[in-house]
Structure 1
C-alpha cells in the first residue's frame, strides 16, 4: 500500500513514520482464521516529477499474507489425493469387468465437482494459477489418460487369435512379465497327459504296414496269387473266386476224404482272410479319424495359446500402466506441495 499526496509537496505535507516504526502496527489486528501475516515492512520514498520542481513524499507499506492450509487440506487436497489413489484400482480390475471403465468415468466426474468447489473458494486471478488448481487440472488429465489406457488394455485383452509380433512377445511376455513376477505357470501334469495321449496316437497312425497282412499274403502264395491283398470289395470277390476254382481243381485229382479236408482248410483260410480284411479296413478308418482328431486338437490348442498370450500381454500392460501412474502421483504431490 502507498500513502502520499499528489497535490501538496514535501514543504506542505511531510509524511514520516510514527515513532520511526517502519512497519504496520499490529496491536489492534484481529487474527484471521483464513490468512496469516508472514511479512510486514515499510519504506519512505521521495520523488521529483518532470512537471514540477517540488519534491513529493510517499510511504509504502508491504504486507505478505499466506492462506491457512488446514481447511483446504481436509476439504480440497485430501479428497483429491484419495481420488488419485483410487484411480490406481482401475489397473487392478480385470479387463473383462465393465466396472473398469465405469469407475474411471465416475472418478473424473468427482474431480469435476471438486474443481467447482475449488472455484468458489479461490479468488479469481488471471495472472497466477493456484497450485491446488494446477494440481486438480493435472489429476483430471491423469484420470482421462488412465481411462484411455484402460480402453487400450481391454481392446488388447479381447484381441482374439491373431498372430503376435515377436518383439511384442519378447518385451511383454519375457522381460516385463518376469520383472513384475507375472510369468504364467504351465500345468506340467496336463502337458504330460497331452503328450502321453498324442504319442500312442502318432505311433498308431504312422504304422502303414501290418504283420498280419504279410501273413495273409503268404497264405495265398499256394494259390498262385503274388499280388498283395487289399481291403477293397473287388479284391475280396477275386479271392473268393480263386478259392472256388482251386477247390474245383482238387475235386478232380483227390479222393473224397482228401477233398473234404482240403475244403475245410480253404474255408478256414477264406474266413480268416475276410475277417482280417474287415479289421484292416476298420483300422484304416480309425487311423484317419485319429489323425483328423489330433490335427483338430493341435489347432485348437494353438488357437487357445495365442488367445491366452494376448490376454497375458494385456495384464502385463495393465500392471505397467499402474506403476507409471503411481509414480506420476508421487511426483506430482512432491512437486506441487513440497512442504
Structure 2
C-alpha cells in the first residue's frame, strides 16, 4: 500500500515538473511594469535563414537566374539630395545622392502563406547578389562610394536597394563668363563587368501615376545650395512627363574590345548619363570682383586726362595697375589654371593693365623730354603732321593748345617785346624842342632839376656826329630816344645823351629783369659807366665805347632769351604730342571697353547641350 502511494506521488511530482517547464517555454518573463507577452517562434528569422541557406547552396557568385541565358534587368534611378561643392580648380563635383536599384532575384522567392503572410524581409547586401553599377567618371580617393543600407526583398523576388552615396565626379568647367557662368556636369553610371547580354540597365519607374520611365534626376527631396542653382529644383513638383526645363538624361552603350584566346570580342556595356545644369549665384563675386573692376576702370579714365609732366599721373597709374593685379590674383584663386578659355573678366583686367602701362610709359618719356629741353631735337616732321596736326584736330587738342611754328620762333621770339623803330621824319626844330622837353623831365625826375646842365641850344659842347649812333640797335621799344639824339647830335650835348643812356628807365623789360635778379653786376660783359660830376662831358670816345658795350650786352641777352624760348617751344611741342597720344589712348580705351562690354555681356550664358544627349540610342565608342 505504501509502495503504491509513493509511486503515485512520484509520478505526480514528475508531471508537475514537466508542466512547469512547459509553461516557462510558453510564457515570457517581462520586465517589471510591463505586461507578460507570449513568446512565439520568429517566422521572419526562419524565412531569412531559409533564403540565406538557399544562397549558400547555390552560391552568391553569379547572377540570380535559373537559366544563364536569361539577362537580369536592373532599373536604376538617381535622386539628388544636395550639391555639396564644385571645385573649379580641381574640376570635381561633390554630390549627396540616393541610388535606387530594383531587380528580380529568383532565389529570393517564398510562399507568403507558409511564413505567416510575411511579404517583405530585409537582408544585408553583402549576403546576396547586387548589381555592380558604379560611377564611371569618379574622382574619389576612396574606393567605396555607398553607405551600408539593407536590401528590401519581396515574396515575388523583387529586390529594392536604396543606398546613400557621396559622389566625387569629374566635371569640365567652362569659365568664360565667370562669375555669371553656367556649368553642365555629367554623372555616368554603368556596370563594370556585365555586358548588355547579361544585365541591362533600365530607367527607374516611380510609384506615382502615370507609371512611366523617368529619364531625369529626381529633385523631390533636394536641399537648395547657396552657391549654385539647378533647373531641376524649379520643377520638383512637376511630373517628369511634363518637365521642359530640366535636361533629359540619356542611355548609351560603351563598346569594349576584349581578347579571348586568339579571338577579339567586342562587347557593349549599358550606361546611364545624367546631366546637371548648374547656374552660379554671382552675388559674392559681384562685390569682390565686378564692382571694384568698374570703379578702377573709372579711375583709369582719369589717368588719361592728367598732364603728362605731372608725377601724380605715374603714381595713380601704378596704383591702379597694382589694384588690377590684386584682383587678377583673386580671380586666379577662384578659377582653374587649365581651361580652354580664359574668363572675360580676366581679359578685361589685363586690358586695363596694358593701357595703364602704355600711358605710364608715355608719361615717363614725356617728362624726360619736357625737363631736358631740346637735347633730343624737335618733333620729327611726320610725327608732327600725323599726330599733332592730324590726330590732334580729331581729339580737339590742337585747338586748345595753339603751338607756334618752331622754325619761325627764332625770328619772332621777341615780337611781343620789341617793334621796329620808324625813323622819325620830323624837322630839327621839332626834334630839338622834343629833346629839350625830355631833358627837363629827366632832370626834374631824377635830380630835382639841379644836376643836369642846361639843356639848351646855347650850351657850348662839341658836336656829336652820326658815326656814334650807326651801330646802335633800334629793335626795342625805347630806341626812339636814340633816334632823336642821333638827329640832334650836332646841336645837342653828348653828355646829356650819355646821361640819358645811363639813366634811361625804358631799357627793354628783359634787360631790367636780368639786371634786377643778378646781385653781382660784374658778371655781365659790360661795365657800368662811372663818372664823376667833375668829369668832362665832352669825351666822345667814352660815349662810343659805352654804346658799343651796351649793344654787345643786349645781343647776348637777346640770344640767350631766344635759345631758352626755343627750348621751351620744343618741350611744349613734345608735351603736346604726349597729350594727343593720351587723348588717343583715352578714346581707344573707351571704344575698346564699350566693345568688350557689348561683346562679353552674357546675353545667353546657357551652354550647348552635347549632341550625344539628343539621341538616346547613339552608341559611344570608348
Check whether TM > 0.5. yes
Query: In the aligned structure 1, how far is the partner of 2:416 from the partner of 2:348?
Result: 58
The structure with higher relative contact order (CA 8 Å, sep 6+) is 1
Runs of 4+ in structure 1 deviating by more than 6 angstroms, as ranges, are 275-278
8 Å contact from structure 2 (residues 369, 574) kept in 1: yes
Partner of 2:269: 56
8 Å contact from structure 1 (residues 159, 310) kept in 2: no
Partner of 1:42: 249
- CA gap of 1:160–1:114, structure 2 versus 1, over 3 A, is same
- CA gap of 1:157–1:49, structure 2 versus 1, over 3 A, is same
Partner of 2:462: none
Q: Work out whether 1:169 is the aligned partner of 2:390.
A: no
Q: CA deviation at 1:282?
A: 5.3
Partner of 2:280: 67
Q: CA deviation at 1:45?
A: 2.3
Q: Work out whether 1:309 is the aligned partner of 2:582.
A: no
Higher strand share: 2
8 Å contact from structure 1 (residues 84, 329) kept in 2: no
Partner of 2:220: 27
Aligned ranges 1:248-327 → 2 under 5 Å = 274=538, 286-327=550-591
User: 3-state DSSP class of the match of 1:3?
Assistant: strand
User: 3-state DSSP class of the match of 1:65?
Assistant: strand
- CA gap of 1:324–1:152, structure 2 versus 1, over 3 A, is farther
Residue in structure 1 matching 2:396, options 166, 169, 181: 181
- CA gap of 1:67–1:280, structure 2 versus 1, over 3 A, is same
Query: Which whole-Å deviations, capped at 9, do the CAs of 1:157-213 have from their partners, x for residues lacking one?
Result: 3341243122233234322333222232489xxx99944623233385998x95567
Residue in structure 1 matching 2:307, options 64, 79, 94: 94
Q: CA deviation at 1:109?
A: 2.0
> Normalised by the size of structure 1, how large is the TM-score?
0.66
Q: CA deviation at 1:313?
A: 2.3
8 Å contact from structure 2 (residues 203, 213) kept in 1: yes
Q: Work out whether 1:147 is the aligned partner of 2:360.
A: yes
Query: In the aligned structure 2, how far is the partner of 1:338 from the partner of 1:325?
Result: 21
Query: In the aligned structure 1, how far is the partner of 2:352 from the partner of 2:599?
Result: 13
Partner of 1:265: none
Q: Which runs of 5+ in 2 are unaligned?
A: 1-186, 205-211, 232-245, 259-264, 405-411, 422-473, 492-535, 604-622
Query: In the aligned structure 1, how far is the partner of 2:387 from the partner of 2:254?
Result: 72
Partner of 1:337: 601
Query: Which whole-Å deviations, capped at 9, do the CAs of 1:45-95 have from their partners, x for residues lacking one?
Result: 245544357653221222232323333222212212321231222222223
Q: CA deviation at 1:309?
A: 2.2
8 Å contact from structure 2 (residues 403, 573) kept in 1: no
Query: In the aligned structure 1, how far is the partner of 2:228 from the partner of 2:336?
Result: 13
Worse-matched range after superposition: 115-124 or 96-105: 115-124
- CA gap of 1:159–1:64, structure 2 versus 1, over 3 A, is farther
Higher helix share: 1
Query: In the aligned structure 2, how far is the partner of 1:20 from the partner of 1:195?
Result: 97
Q: Work out whether 1:9 is the aligned partner of 2:195.
A: yes
- CA gap of 1:277–1:138, structure 2 versus 1, over 3 A, is closer
Q: CA deviation at 1:96?
A: 3.1
- CA gap of 1:285–1:36, structure 2 versus 1, over 3 A, is same
Q: Which runs of 5+ in 1 are unaligned?
A: 217-270
Query: In the aligned structure 2, how far is the partner of 1:100 from the partner of 1:129?
Result: 31
8 Å contact from structure 2 (residues 355, 585) kept in 1: no
Partner of 2:92: none
Query: In the aligned structure 1, how far is the partner of 2:338 from the partner of 2:556?
Result: 77
Query: In the aligned structure 2, how far is the partner of 1:45 from the partner of 1:290?
Result: 101
- CA gap of 1:153–1:202, structure 2 versus 1, over 3 A, is closer
Q: Work out whether 1:107 is the aligned partner of 2:320.
A: yes
Q: CA deviation at 1:42?
A: 1.0
- Greater C-alpha Rg: 2
Partner of 1:245: none
> Normalised by the size of structure 2, how large is the TM-score?
0.39
8 Å contact from structure 2 (residues 366, 575) kept in 1: no
8 Å contact from structure 2 (residues 391, 580) kept in 1: yes
Query: In the aligned structure 1, how far is the partner of 2:586 from the partner of 2:203?
Result: 61
Query: Which whole-Å deviations, capped at 9, do the CAs of 1:205-243 have from their partners, x for residues lacking one?
Result: 998x95567x69xxxxxxxxxxxxxxxxxxxxxxxxxxx
8 Å contact from structure 1 (residues 47, 55) kept in 2: yes
Query: Which whole-Å deviations, capped at 9, do the CAs of 1:271-295 have from their partners, x for residues lacking one?
Result: 99x5777666655555555444444
8 Å contact from structure 2 (residues 303, 313) kept in 1: yes
Worse-matched range after superposition: 191-200 or 17-26: 191-200
